[in-house]
Structure 1
Amino acid sequence: MILTRLRHELDNLSKSERRIAEVILADPEAAVHATTAEIARKAEVSDPMISRLCRGLGCKGFPEFKVQLAQNLAKNTSYVTRSVSVNDNADTYVNKLISANQGALEYLRKELDISTIEAAVEALDKAKRIEIFGMGGCSSIAQDAQHKLFRLGTPTIAYEDNLKQRMAAAAADEHSVILFISFTGRTHATIETAHTAKLSGAKVIAITEPNSPLAAASDIVITSGSELEDTTIYVPMTTRIMILTIIDILATGLALKRSPGIDEHLKKIKESLDNTKAERK
């Protein structure tokens, strides 16, 4: 637990780091919602000292530290999310969840590898067919990805049924890109389907845990951020937000890559909906 680690390290910290630790330990709840600048001001240290302390505790930065801190503050196990406690009132859990999501997106900003994003966009751009596979909690994300990508000029379909996924993977070829979305990357059926897709010659992109078997079976791996959240026990919340953000990034990258040629195509699609909405008063 991050608070326990922080307490144990107090005597080993520099004077500046110790002041930061004391500010956090004095009011961990406030630290979850605080910015780097606010903590630095209270501890009378420079902003970079906050990141230095967080790295010393095994975190990659203050956003990841805040996510772990929010998880640590749950006094009783909640099967909803680690970020909250069963005794939290509405004001508390609203702020905790918003802070956890903010921290997760900051973590994603630092962890996303731009060259990997560029490679994924390039693969999507070259594909003659895009298929998106997601099961369980990832099925709705796969549908959202289809909704974003099908408008950009390439036939796109999402499958949530594993039997359909297996058949589609077997029927794929070198012109296909299959995008796998998985919180853990450890579901046997998903891993087997990824291997089938590779044998068929398809380009396999996975948004998943980087150290998972699914990642090992993929050509391009984009972190899902699931290392911040135990998705095998808790309802994936911050992870879902991060994956949806990645989908938006890929769709935006593909749209920009195909501009200005795609603009008229998108305009036609938008205009097809004009008569489906009531006029604003």
Structure 2
Amino acid sequence: MIGTPEDGERGGSTLVARIRAMLDGLRQAERRVAELVVEHPHDVASAPIAQVAAHAGVSEPTVIRFCRTMGYEGFQQFKLELTRSLAAGVPFVFEGVRPDETTADLTAKVIDRSIATLVQVRNHLNPNQLDQAIGYLAAASRIEFYGHGASGMVAMDAQHKFFRLGIPTVAYTDAHVHGMSASILPADAVVVAISHTGRSAELLDSADLARDAGARVIAITAAGSPLAEHADLTLFADVREDTDVYTPMTSRMAHLAIVDVLSVGVALRRGPELLSKLERTKGRLREKRLAR
């Protein structure tokens, strides 16, 4: 029976936090299901679909549509992921650094926050969406990475990883340049747009231009952000960021980790021929290093 409200985020569930962030963008009926999940995550994880539909005041097909909106094939897959997220989530105790912080405490807080961030990203990334993104990238004739500021650094790191996979690849951090490039992309190209907030107007414009040209757009951003609405596929990186003292760190780490997953997945997808090319590249690099 679905009972008293409980805070799913307090239980360490990043899936619940993602659903909460997406509430405003959901259709009215699906939002009722989402609100039920946010208020009673453990009960929903153990309830049959008929009971969930009844308590949300919607039909069973609406529950299934909500699950598919969240990126799952159906209710059972969503429940499995919700259960896993509730069980495996790491409670995130946010502790900001203070001006009088000792070096030891500063080190512990920064590294602990980084560890928690990576575990959160691991727990809520959707395998189906990752697999689809890897498929898009592996088949692309060209890959372009767009990002500004700290996300621009992630875009350049992604370009450094992907160009070695034998795919024409470029990173653009200037809004004028990626806007021009997006408008002339071939239809079999893929754009990866990276943004923690997903609210950069220039990035949204370039995503739209790329889609108008026929290219696919993969967004790495927060759930419920405008960028997620302008992409063909979104990989969610929902992390808490503290920009009061330093430039964004946790979101950058989350984005870098997702890029690493994508690059390894594409390398495996492209098969043994790519592995032999990578070995030749490594051999060339070894020639440039000093002997031990």
TM-score, L = length of structure 2: 0.68
Asked if 2 retains the 8 angstrom alpha-carbon contact of 1:255 and 1:262, the reply is: yes
Pair 231,217 (structure 1): closer, same or farther in 2 beyond 3 Å = farther
Cα distance in 2, alignment partners of residues 230 and 163 from structure 1: 29
Pair 142,93 (structure 1): closer, same or farther in 2 beyond 3 Å = same
Pair 224,56 (structure 1): closer, same or farther in 2 beyond 3 Å = closer
Q: Which residue pairs with 2:202 in the alignment?
A: 189
Asked if 2 retains the 8 angstrom alpha-carbon contact of 1:183 and 1:231, the reply is: no
Asked if 2 retains the 8 angstrom alpha-carbon contact of 1:54 and 1:60, the reply is: no
Q: Which residue pairs with 1:247 in the alignment?
A: 259
Q: Which residue pairs with 1:218 in the alignment?
A: 231
Tell me how far 1:69 sits from its aligned partner: 7.8
Tell me how far 1:137 sits from its aligned partner: 1.3
Which amino acid is the alignment partner of residue 174 of structure 2? D
Asked if 2 retains the 8 angstrom alpha-carbon contact of 1:172 and 1:200, the reply is: yes
Pair 91,158 (structure 1): closer, same or farther in 2 beyond 3 Å = same
- State the secondary structure of the residue aligned to 1:272: helix
- State the secondary structure of the residue aligned to 1:157: strand
Matches within 5 A, 1:250-265: 250-265=262-277
Q: Note the alpha carbon deviations across 1:32-90, whole angstroms, 9 max, x for none.
A: xxxxxxxxxxxxxxxxxxxxx873736416xx9xx99876544xxxxxxxxx1222110
- Does residue 55 of structure 2 align to residue 55 of structure 1? no
Which amino acid is the alignment partner of residue 259 of structure 1? G
- State the secondary structure of the residue aligned to 1:108: helix
- Does residue 193 of structure 2 align to residue 198 of structure 1? no
Asked if 2 retains the 8 angstrom alpha-carbon contact of 1:73 and 1:85, the reply is: no
For structure 1, the 5+ residue unaligned runs are 1-52, 75-83
Pair 101,193 (structure 1): closer, same or farther in 2 beyond 3 Å = same
Q: Which residue pairs with 1:164 in the alignment?
A: 177
Tell me how far 1:225 sits from its aligned partner: 2.4
Q: Which residue pairs with 1:209 in the alignment?
A: 222
Which amino acid is the alignment partner of residue 142 of structure 1? A
Cα distance in 2, alignment partners of residues 70 and 89 from structure 1: 21
Matches within 5 A, 1:112-151: 112-151=125-164
Tell me how far 1:232 sits from its aligned partner: 8.9
Larger Rg computed on CA atoms: 1
Pair 69,128 (structure 1): closer, same or farther in 2 beyond 3 Å = closer
For structure 2, the 5+ residue unaligned runs are 1-5, 18-88
- State the secondary structure of the residue aligned to 2:209: helix
TM-score, L = length of structure 1: 0.71
Matches within 5 A, 1:90-105: 90-105=103-118
Asked if 2 retains the 8 angstrom alpha-carbon contact of 1:208 and 1:215, the reply is: yes
Q: Which residue pairs with 1:7 in the alignment?
A: none
Asked if 1 retains the 8 angstrom alpha-carbon contact of 2:92 and 2:116, the reply is: no
Pair 269,68 (structure 1): closer, same or farther in 2 beyond 3 Å = closer
Q: Which residue pairs with 2:291 in the alignment?
A: 279
Which amino acid is the alignment partner of residue 108 of structure 2? N
Q: Which residue pairs with 1:18 in the alignment?
A: none
Cα distance in 2, alignment partners of residues 194 and 232 from structure 1: 29
Pair 203,178 (structure 1): closer, same or farther in 2 beyond 3 Å = same
Percent identical: 34
Asked if 1 retains the 8 angstrom alpha-carbon contact of 2:13 and 2:90, the reply is: no
Which amino acid is the alignment partner of residue 273 of structure 2? G
Asked if 1 retains the 8 angstrom alpha-carbon contact of 2:237 and 2:254, the reply is: yes
Q: Which residue pairs with 2:21 in the alignment?
A: none
Cα distance in 2, alignment partners of residues 252 and 199 from structure 1: 29
